[in-house]
């Protein structure tokens, strides 16, 4: 049975080759060009699928994509936990700011997120907070901030989002929105 199937495929292949070889050379050249183009398209499509897969597994990639960031923000808003992302973004903005703006931005971050009376104290609603040591370290440098003032706190919040919010995001409908954006 298997031998008959093989013979059938072999005969079909031979007749197709004979048919192709009888075509004018311009058709053969066009067929070769199309094969190369299709091969390139298939490879490009595969690379995009890999990028999509990376985006789904990598918070950093998501945060660096405008549409992905919007989808993640929407998800966090729906869970009432957007303060972590807002804090991370404020720290990122601070980190990339020229030194002459850092004191003002540092005060703003402190007033908005670190101060115990802040309207969006990081983790206020979800019991997600900066540990006392990190909070105290930030309090001691608010008068003389430097480029890496918020690095430790920002990294803690990033790790928290990566371990907590991001996996939930991956299982949410908001994730599909992010995939479409990539």
More confident residue, 165 or 81: 165
pLDDT band at 182 (very low <50, low <70, confident <90, very high): low
The CATH number linked to 177 is: 1.10.167.10
- 44 pLDDT above the threshold of 50: no
Burial class (CB in 10 A: 0-12, 13-18, 19+), 152: middle
Domain with 93 in it: 59-181
Q: What pTM does this model have?
A: 0.64
Based on the domain organization, do 145 and 83 belong to the same domain? yes
* The pair of three-digit structure tokens given for residue 118, joined into one six-digit string: 């802040």
Based on the domain organization, do 81 and 43 belong to the same domain? no
Q: Give the chain's domain count.
A: 2
């Amino acid at each position: 049975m298997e031998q008959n199937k093989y013979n059938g495929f072999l005969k079909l292949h031979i007749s197709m080759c004979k048919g192709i070889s009888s075509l004018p050379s311009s058709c053969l050249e066009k067929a070769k060009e199309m094969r190369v183009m299709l091969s390139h398209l298939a490879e490009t499509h595969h690379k995009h699928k890999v990028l999509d897969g990376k985006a789904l597994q990598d918070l950093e990639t998501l945060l660096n994509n405008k549409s992905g960031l919007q989808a993640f923000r929407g998800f966090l808003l729906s869970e009432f936990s957007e303060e972590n992302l807002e804090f991370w973004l404020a720290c990122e903005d601070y980190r990339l700011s020229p030194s002459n703006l850092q004191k003002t931005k540092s005060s703003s971050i402190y007033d908005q997120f670190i101060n115990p009376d802040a309207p969006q104290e990081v983790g206020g609603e979800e019991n997600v907070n900066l540990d006392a040591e990190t909070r105290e370290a930030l309090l001691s440098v608010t008068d003389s901030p430097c480029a890496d003032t918020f690095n430790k706190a920002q990294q803690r919040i990033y790790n928290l989002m990566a371990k907590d919010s991001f996996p939930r995001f991956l299982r949410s409908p908001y994730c599909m929105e992010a995939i479409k954006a990539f």
